[in-house]
Structure formats: C-alpha cells, structure tokens
C-alpha cells in the first residue's frame, strides 16, 4: 500500500510537470501571452522527463502505468484551472484509469 501511495504521488507530480509544460506554450500560441512563458515550460518538461527516470520498471511499463494518473491529473486541471465541472463519466473513467495504473504498477515480478 505504501508503494502504491509513493508511485501515485510520483506519477501525480510527473503529470503536473507535463501538463504545465504543455499548457504554458498554449497560452503563448493561443492567447498571445509573453514568450517568456516558454522558459518555465521548457523547465517543466525537463522536470517531467527527469521524473520519469526515477521509476525502476521498464520504460514502457512506466509510461503505461503513468497514463492512468495522467488522466486523473488532467481532469483535476480541467476542473481547477479551466473551471469545467466534471461529470460522473469523468469520475468513473478516472477511477478505472487508477485501477489500471495499480494493476500495471504493482504486478508481481516476472520470474524468467
């Protein structure tokens, strides 16, 4: 259980770094905000890439499990930053994604 909490927190921070790194250039391109926002965007994407290296599992498995938490964080961003109300379908999809993340991340070690 502690391992799942640790992985979840790491995935959540990783997702936030990725979303911020993509959101800020969107502000520059779509809303005409200052190009200086590209500097923290690049730093955020570099942080995102570094955070992905902290996982001991194979990269493909890490990315697959990370996708579940990314969905949850993206929906929270939608609610908090964009101000869009979440539907029960959003919540159900997020719950399913988290279960998928847990199944992938916590599987027993393969003995080859």
Which distant-in-sequence residues (6+ apart) come within 8 Å of 65 by Cβ?
7, 11, 57, 100, 101, 104, 105
Give the helix, strand, coil percentages of the chain, each rounded to 5.
Answer: 80, 0, 20
Would you call 112 helix, strand, or coil by DSSP? coil
Model-level pTM? 0.85
Per-residue pLDDT of the chain (112 residues; tens, 9 = 90+): 677 788 889 999 999 999 999 999 999 999 999 999 999 999 999 999 999 888 777 778 888 888 999 999 999 999 999 999 999 999 999 999 999 988 888 888 744 3
Q: Give the residue extent of every domain in the chain.
A: 2-105
């Amino acid at each position: 259980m502690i391992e799942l909490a640790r992985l979840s927190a790491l995935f959540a921070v990783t997702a936030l770094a990725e979303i911020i790194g993509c959101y800020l250039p969107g502000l520059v391109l779509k809303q005409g905000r200052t190009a200086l926002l590209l500097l923290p965007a690049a730093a955020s994407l570099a942080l995102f890439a570094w955070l992905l290296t902290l996982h001991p599992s194979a990269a493909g498995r890490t990315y697959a499990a990370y996708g579940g938490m990314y969905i949850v964080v993206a929906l929270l961003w939608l609610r908090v930053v964009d101000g869009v109300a979440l539907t029960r379908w959003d919540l159900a999809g997020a719950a399913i994604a988290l279960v998928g993340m847990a199944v992938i991340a916590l599987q027993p070690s393969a003995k080859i």
